[in-house]
Structures are given as structure tokens and as C-alpha cells.
């Protein structure tokens, strides 16, 4: 029988039976079934608790004397060179943040004092699990890190496109990342979570269940960086000039609305263009279509924190927008690409501990660990404590200090004095009035390794998230879980995951179990706190319910053939551009085709290199003869079939019907199939495209 191991919830969970272990000399030892070796530090010291950092009291700050956490995170930070351990594949852009109104009542941070203030910013988007050479459309969390170059130093808001995380305590960060990275004995799978190690860890970590719902949702496969939200994840503090504190959560909302792709589409995009997200951001900025996000704050006091159903220090929980409405306070605009990718995007160093006076931390144990870890990470990756001398990391405001020497030092103190206090009256001095002051929160309690009981409900918000999705989105979550777990070879891991799903939604669990060929359902997993079923759905958690009301920023792919109607194409292009979208032409050959009036229609893609997955909607402007010829080309048939399967709006001329039929698509299948022979129909096509997808097609047709 497997031996129980301690969990954050205090409940036992099984671990795999191990028959052989390798000693320090490489020799194999056999151990008794169900037994395991004692975990130790690298110095050989036995570890009593590998689940929780040492802190003051149940909800207090973490302690720097926690040598086990220090050693564990230190080694983890230094595991990779030279690329980042996580967030290795990234892409960045310059821009500015503009403050709407003064927030002096809440914070003394200079960036929020004056309406209309513009602060330079640099943003880096990224995937988490893959290496630098992985593909853009992995199912993964996306990093959303913003560096503000404020008048009081750099502020790094280092967030993700998902507001929660897998773990509650930073001591488990090496474990969750180890589990999702390529398995160490075989170095695959790359940029994928569909394997035994990841789901083994997750199935033994109930606190991950809320994050699992997000990562298995369409949030993890965004259509573009421009169409995804960003979150600070943690609860922070704002502190005003009177040293009064207000709790805050940071949310970025894209001006163009949210949008994702479906999984089959993501797989095909990765094959057609593994740089899809990079290219999208580059093209948008280079064309002057600058992406924008609005910064929203959820502001609350201690009374709200005490009355909220869940602990605001728990990074696996959110505060639903329907309970606490976000307040828009400014906008972020990206308007310039880096001059050199390596010098800027690759060398930029973000650290959660970089905050200006007026922004402070809470005792969120994951945030506390990140504050401790990031400096060490940058030292290892950039090779010197002088990484702030690199222009992308240097403050744009005046700065003065006595730090000197070291590898690659570009600046050193001038003159005799390089210390303080000194009696020569030289050099900078601290300023109690203007400098950073931590909020004077009273702390008391024993030094313990313990998870607060207020962190113990691991299923209720996961259930709320699932219940907040539309039917197509719930279907996508079920399909994602079924796909991921179908790649897991160890049966007991699949069963454990289904047992957790039973605590979230019985129908979801049954669907996944059926897809996995399970003949009977396991018992629901033991829950430290019984899952609640009284949490109201939060419509703000659905992408489909919060889509844009225009087609701006999107792209239409138009397939043409010889003999196409040039006038119709011109009218269509004018309507698309008026909407703020982009049109690209696909033809049998990249040189283009001769239209019915003898003019040349230039093409950006040939059919083999311009699949419909690269576009948000498609149109077929074909002559009947041209369509007949295209029926013999697999790429042309796939262009149509994929667009239909991915629920995209399809405009077509009557000449295109032979190709539609050959691809198995009924020209009158649904409202998403729009004939374009009448020029007035272009308006209807554009109006349909504003919905982005015809999700009713997915629910009505087995695609």
C-alpha cells in the first residue's frame, strides 16, 4: 500500500511506489514497496516540510532564515544558462502608460499623481514552459510583464494572462516547473503539459485545480498578445502620503477585446507559422495599429478582505469582478519595436520587488518567494550584479548610489567617497520623506511551516470558473482535459485527476472519464474543505461573453482564382479596412492571378503557405472554372474545411460552390456562410465577422 505524504490541505495523498533508487555513486538500491527515502537538503540535512515556507504565524511574511527554501530556489534559479528557466520564449515592445486621473487618495506613487502623465514602458509577453526555440501557440500560461520607467525608479508589474497560479507557496515553484518541463531522462515533450510528470504533480496538488480550469480553457491559447488580458496575480498594497494602506489587484484589459483559438487550430498554426504571436505583434506595430490595454484596479480595505469568502493572500483565488468592480485608471500603448531583440527583449530583467514608493507588498507567500528569488535569477542569467547598467534595465530617472566594480561595470562612483555616512559631505543620502517605506503592518505569531486554513478550499472557485463559461467553452475545457490526460500513460494518474474533477463538476468528470475509456468513476478526491455550490457564476470569466463589438485589429484571408471579380475584391477590401481590419490575398501562386477584367490581383500568400488558420475570417472570390481547378488541391480543400471547422465566417461567390462542396461544406449550412455576389452582402459579412466565431456551428455539427 502506498505511503501517505503531507499535503498543503493536511489530507493524505498517495505517491508512486518506487522499487529502485539511485545512490550518489550511481548505484541502484532496492527499497521496500511503499517506502521512500527521506528528503534532505544538498548538505544532507533531513527536511521536515517541503510544502510550506517558514513564516510568522499562519498568514504572516516569509522569513529569510528559511535555509531549505533558500537552497531550493537558489539551485532552481541557476539551473539554466543562458536562457530563462521559465518564460524563455518571449517578445517585447516599447510604449507608454498614460494615467487617467490622480490616485493620490490611495497611493503616493508618482506615476499615479497627475492626470495625463505619460510614463515610458517596456512590455514582454512570453510562454512559460517552452524553450526559446519552441512555438508560440503552446497551451500555456502567457507572461505579461510590464516595466514602467517612473520618475521614482523602475516599477516591474510581473504578471500573467491568468489571474491565479498552480501553487500557493513559492517553495513549490521548482516542483511545478520541473514537472511541466521536458522529462529529464528523455528531454521531451517540449512546451507541452500533456505528459505523466505534470499531471502526476497536479493530481497530487489539490490547490492547483482552479488553475487547471484556466489552463485547460481557451485562455491558454490566445489568438494574439493583443487580444488577451493581463493580471498582477497577487494582492498588493497601495500606500498614500498619510501611510494609509489599500489592498489592490491589477488587471490589464485589451482595448480590442479578448479572443482565443481552438486547439485544432493552434496545432495547425504551430505548423504553419510557429512565430504567429511574434509576427502578429510586429505587424500591428509596424503598420501603426498600436495595441492598447486599460489598467484596472480592484481596490479594497481590510474589512472587505476579512469579509471575503476566500483569503486575499491566496494566489490560487480571484475576487470576481461582479463582487468588486475593477476601476480603470490608465492606458498602456505599445508603439515601438526594439531596435535589437537580444539587447532589449532578451536582456530585460523583471523583478517583482521593483516597486516605487506608494506600492507595497502583501504577505502572499508566492509573492514573498518571488521577491526573494528574482534578483538571484537575474544575477545568474545576465552574469553580473551590474545588469542594471544594461540600457533596457537602467532607470530613466536620475539615480545615485555607491555600488561599484564587479563584472561589466559601466559606471562607478567619482571622487574619494564611496560610502556613507561620511564626514566629507559627499554623495547621496537616504530620504525618509521621499524614499520607499514599507507599510507598518503589525505581525505576531510563532515561526512555523504551515498553510493557513483559509487557503484550504481548492475546488469552489474552480467550480465557479467552469460554471461561468458558455457551453462551447465548457466543451473546450472537457476536450482539453481529455486530450492531455490521454497522453498520460500511468492509469492511476488519470484516475486521480478524474477524482478531482468530480469535486468541480460531475458532468465534466463523466465526459473526461468516458473519453479516457474508464469503465467506472473513482470516488471524489478527499477535500480539506467541502466544495461550495452556492458561488454565483461570474460572466466576466468568459471570453465569449466578453468579446469585442467590432472586427478591428483582425485579419481576413481572401482566396482568389483566375477570373475573379476584381471590383468585388476592391469593395470587400474597402469595407474590411473601414472596419479597422486587414485583408490578405491568397492565390494558387504567390505572384497572383489575372482577374476577369484582365487586371492583376497580387497575392501575399500562395495557397500552400496561407492556410485559413492564419486568419480570423475568410472569403472565397473564385470563378467557377478556378474553383473547379482548386478542388484538386488538398491545400485549397483544407483552407475551406478548416475555416468551417473552426467556426469562422466564410464569405463566398457562387463560383466558389464547387470547392465548398468538395471540401464537404454546405454553402447553406448556417448563418456563417454568406454569399457575396450581391455587393450589398459585404455589409452582412462584416457584421457577422464582428462576432469573431459562429459558436453555434460547433454545438450543432460534429466538426
How far is residue 291's CA from residue 254's CA, in Å, rounded to a whole number? 8
The answer to whether residues 384 and 406 touch, using CB atoms and an 8 Å cutoff, is yes
Query: Is 160 among the residues known to form the active site?
Result: yes
Antiparallel, parallel or unpaired: β 20-22 and 28-30: antiparallel
In the chain, count H helices and then E strands. Answer: 19, 24
- Same domain membership, residue 565 and residue 506: no
What is the domain-level CATH number for residue 531? 1.20.1370.20
Q: Which of 363, 389, 415 is the last residue of a domain?
A: 389
Q: What percent of the chain has pLDDT over 70?
A: 94
The per-residue pLDDT for 10 is: 39
How far is residue 246's CA from residue 177's CA, in Å, rounded to a whole number? 32
pTM value? Answer: 0.90
For the chain, give the number of residues: 703
How far is residue 184's CA from residue 55's CA, in Å, rounded to a whole number? 32
**106 annotated among ligand-binding-site residues:** no
Look at the chain and report how many structural domains it folds into: 3
**173 annotated among ligand-binding-site residues:** yes
Q: Which residues of 183-206 are buried (b: 16+ CB within 10 A; e: fewer)?
A: eeeeeebebbbebbbbbbbbbbbb
- Bridge partners for 360 per DSSP: 237
Torsion on CA atoms 43, 46, 48, 53, rounded to nearest 10 = 0
- Same domain membership, residue 463 and residue 592: no
- Has residue 411 been placed in a domain? no
pLDDT digits over 567-595, tens only? 999 999 999 999 999 999 999 999 999 99
- Same domain membership, residue 591 and residue 500: no
What is the domain-level CATH number for residue 318? 2.40.180.10
- Has residue 46 been placed in a domain? no
Q: Identify whether 82 is preceded by a cis peptide bond (ω within 30 of 0).
A: yes
- Same domain membership, residue 231 and residue 339: yes
Contacts of 25 (CB under 8 A, 6+ apart): none
pLDDT-derived band at 3, boundaries 50, 70, 90: very low
Q: What percent of the chain has pLDDT over 90?
A: 80
Catalytic residue among 87, 458, 476, 646: 87
CB atoms within 10 A of CB 391: 10
Parent domain of 239:
56-195+222-389
| Sequential DSSP letters for 200-218 | HHHHT-GGGHHHHHHHTSG
Higher pLDDT, 212 or 68: 212
Conformation bin of residue 479: beta by default, left when phi > 0, alpha when psi is -120 to 50: alpha
Mean pLDDT of 478-506: 98
pLDDT-derived band at 80, boundaries 50, 70, 90: low
The per-residue pLDDT for 40 is: 80
Place of cell 503557405: 609
pLDDT-derived band at 437, boundaries 50, 70, 90: confident
The per-residue pLDDT for 407 is: 84
| Sequential DSSP letters for 154-200 | EEEEEEESSSS-S-SSGGGHHHHHHHHSPBTTTTB-TT---SHHHHH
What is the domain-level CATH number for residue 671? 3.40.50.880
- Same domain membership, residue 565 and residue 637: yes
Classify residue 355 by its DSSP letter: -
- Has residue 332 been placed in a domain? yes
**124 annotated among ligand-binding-site residues:** yes
Catalytic residue among 154, 160, 270, 296: 160
Distances (CA, A) of 119 to 122, 146, 305, 443: 10, 12, 31, 35
Contacts of 662 (CB under 8 A, 6+ apart): 631, 637
How far is residue 35's CA from residue 4's CA, in Å, rounded to a whole number? 10
Contacts of 269 (CB under 8 A, 6+ apart): 136, 137, 261, 276, 613, 614
- Has residue 249 been placed in a domain? yes
- Same domain membership, residue 559 and residue 536: no
Query: pLDDT at residue 255 above 90?
Result: yes
**89 annotated among ligand-binding-site residues:** no
Conformation bin of residue 246: beta by default, left when phi > 0, alpha when psi is -120 to 50: beta
- Same domain membership, residue 247 and residue 129: yes
- Same domain membership, residue 384 and residue 263: yes
Mean pLDDT of 639-663: 98
- Has residue 344 been placed in a domain? yes
Strands (E), 404-495: 447-449
Mean pLDDT of 57-69: 89
**CA-angle at 131, arms to 127 and 133, nearest 5°:** 100
pLDDT digits over 302-322, tens only? 999 999 999 999 999 999 999
The per-residue pLDDT for 532 is: 97
pLDDT-derived band at 414, boundaries 50, 70, 90: confident
- Has residue 12 been placed in a domain? no
Query: pLDDT at residue 511 above 80?
Result: yes
- Has residue 115 been placed in a domain? yes
The alpha carbon of 525 is separated from its chain's Cα centroid by a whole number of angstroms, namely 28
- Has residue 209 been placed in a domain? no
| Sequential DSSP letters for 278-333 | HHHHHHHHHTT---EEEEEEEEE-HHHHHHSSS-TT-TT----TTTS--EEEEEEE
The per-residue pLDDT for 434 is: 86
Mean pLDDT of the chain, nearest integer: 92
The per-residue pLDDT for 9 is: 41
- Same domain membership, residue 346 and residue 479: no
Lowest mean pLDDT among 38-52, 121-135, 432-446: 38-52
CB atoms within 10 A of CB 278: 18
Amino acid at each position: 500500500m502506498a505511503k501517505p505524504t503531507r499535503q498543503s490541505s493536511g489530507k493524505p495523498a498517495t505517491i508512486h511506489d518506487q522499487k529502485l533508487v539511485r545512490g550518489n555513486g550511481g548505484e541502484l538500491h532496492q527499497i521496500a514497496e511503499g517506502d521512500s527515502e527521506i528528503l534532505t537538503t544538498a548538505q544532507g540535512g533531513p527536511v521536515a516540510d517541503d510544502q510550506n515556507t517558514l513564516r510568522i504565524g499562519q498568514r504572516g511574511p516569509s522569513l529569510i532564515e528559511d535555509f531549505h527554501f533558500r537552497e531550493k530556489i537558489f539551485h532552481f534559479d541557476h539551473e539554466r544558462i543562458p536562457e530563462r528557466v521559465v518564460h524563455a520564449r518571449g517578445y517585447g515592445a516599447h510604449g507608454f502608460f498614460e494615467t487617467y486621473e490622480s490616485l493620490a487618495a490611495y497611493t503616493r506613487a508618482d506615476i499615479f499623481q497627475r492626470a495625463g502623465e505619460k510614463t515610458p514602458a517596456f512590455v514582454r509577453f512570453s510562454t512559460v514552459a517552452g524553450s526559446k526555440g519552441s512555438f508560440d501557440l503552446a497551451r500555456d500560461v502567457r507572461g505579461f510583464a510590464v516595466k514602467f520607467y517612473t520618475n521614482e525608479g523602475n516599477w516591474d508589474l510581473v504578471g500573467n494572462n491568468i489571474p491565479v497560479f498552480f501553487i500557493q507557496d513559492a517553495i513549490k515553484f521548482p516542483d511545478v516547473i520541473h514537472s511541466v518541463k521536458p522529462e529529464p531522462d528523455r528531454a521531451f515533450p517540449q512546451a507541452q503539459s500533456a505528459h505523466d510528470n505534470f499531471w502526476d504533480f497536479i493530481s497530487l496538488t489539490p490547490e492547483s485545480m482552479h488553475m487547471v480550469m484556466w489552463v485547460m480553457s481557451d485562455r491558454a491559447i490566445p489568438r494574439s498578445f493583443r487580444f488577451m488580458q493581463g493580471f498582477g496575480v497577487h494582492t498588493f498594497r497601495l500606500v498614500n502620503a498619510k501611510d494609509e494602506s489599500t489592498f489592490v489587484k491589477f488587471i490589464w484589459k485589451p482595448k480590442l477585446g479578448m479572443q482565443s483559438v481552438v486547439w485544432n487550430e493552434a496545432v495547425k498554426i504551430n505548423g504553419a507559422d510557429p512565430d504567429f504571436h511574434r509576427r502578429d505583434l510586429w505587424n500591428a506595430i509596424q503598420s501603426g495599429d498600436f495595441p492598447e490595454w486599460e489598467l484596472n484596479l480592484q481596490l479594497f480595505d481590510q474589512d472587505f478582505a476579512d469579509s471575503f469568502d476566500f483569503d486575499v493572500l491566496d494566489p490560487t483565488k480571484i475576487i470576481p469582478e461582479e463582487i468588486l468592480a475593477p476601476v480603470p485608471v490608465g492606458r498602456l500603448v505599445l508603439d515601438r519595436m526594439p531596435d535589437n531583440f537580444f539587447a532589449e527583449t532578451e536582456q530585460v530583467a523583471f523583478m517583482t520587488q521593483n516597486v516605487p514608493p506608494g506600492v507595497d507588498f502583501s504577505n502572499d507567500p508566492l509573492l514573498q518567494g518571488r521577491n526573494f528569488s528574482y534578483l538571484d535569477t537575474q544575477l545568474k542569467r545576465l552574469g553580473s550584479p551590474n545588469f542594471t547598467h544594461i540600457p533596457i534595465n537602467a532607470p530613466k530617472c536620475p539615480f545615485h548610489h555607491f555600488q561599484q566594480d564587479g563584472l561589466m561595470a559601466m559606471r562607478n562612483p567619482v571622487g574619494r567617497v564611496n560610502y556613507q555616512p561620511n564626514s566629507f559631505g559627499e554623495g547621496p543620502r537616504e530620504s525618509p520623506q521621499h524614499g520607499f517605506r514599507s507599510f507598518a503592518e503589525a505581525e505576531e505569531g510563532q515561526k512555523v511551516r504551515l498553510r493557513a486554513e483559509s487557503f484550504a478550499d481548492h475546488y469552489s472557485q474552480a467550480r465557479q470558473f467552469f460554471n461561468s463559461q458558455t457551453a462551447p467553452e465548457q466543451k473546450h475545457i472537457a476536450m482539453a482535459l481529455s486530450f492531455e490526460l490521454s497522453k498520460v500513460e500511468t492509469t492511476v494518474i488519470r484516475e486521480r485527476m478524474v477524482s478531482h474533477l468530480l469535486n468541480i463538476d460531475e458532468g465534466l468528470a463523466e465526459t473526461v472519464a468516458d473519453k479516457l475509456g474508464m469503465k467506472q468513476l473513482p470516488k471524489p478526491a478527499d477535500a480539506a474543505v467541502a466544495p461550495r455550490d452556492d458561488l454565483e457564476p461570474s460572466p466576466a470569466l468568459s471570453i465569449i461573453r466578453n468579446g469585442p463589438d467590432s472586427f478591428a485589429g483582425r485579419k481576413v484571408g481572401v482566396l482568389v482564382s483566375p477570373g475573379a471579380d476584381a471590383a468585388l475584391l476592391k469593395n470587400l477590401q474597402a469595407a474590411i479596412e473601414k472596419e479597422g481590419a486587414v485583408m490578405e490575398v491568397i492565390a494558387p501562386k504567390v505572384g497572383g492571378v489575372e482577374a476577369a477584367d484582365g487586371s492583376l490581383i497580387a497575392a501575399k500568400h500562395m495557397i500552400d503557405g496561407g492556410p485559413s488558420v492564419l486568419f480570423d475570417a475568410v472569403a472565397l472570390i473564385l470563378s467557377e472554372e478556378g474553383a473547379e481547378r482548386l478542388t484538386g488541391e488538398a491545400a485549397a480543400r483544407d483552407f475551406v474545411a478548416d475555416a468551417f471547422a473552426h467556426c469562422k465566417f466564410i464569405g463566398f461567390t457562387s463560383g466558389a460552390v464547387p470547392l465548398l462542396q468538395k471540401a464537404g461544406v454546405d454553402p447553406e449550412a448556417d448563418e456563417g456562410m454568406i454569399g457575396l455576389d450581391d455587393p450589398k452582402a459585404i455589409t452582412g459579412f462584416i457584421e457577422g465577422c464582428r462576432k469573431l466565431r459562429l459558436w453555434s456551428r460547433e454545438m450543432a455539427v460534429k466538426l
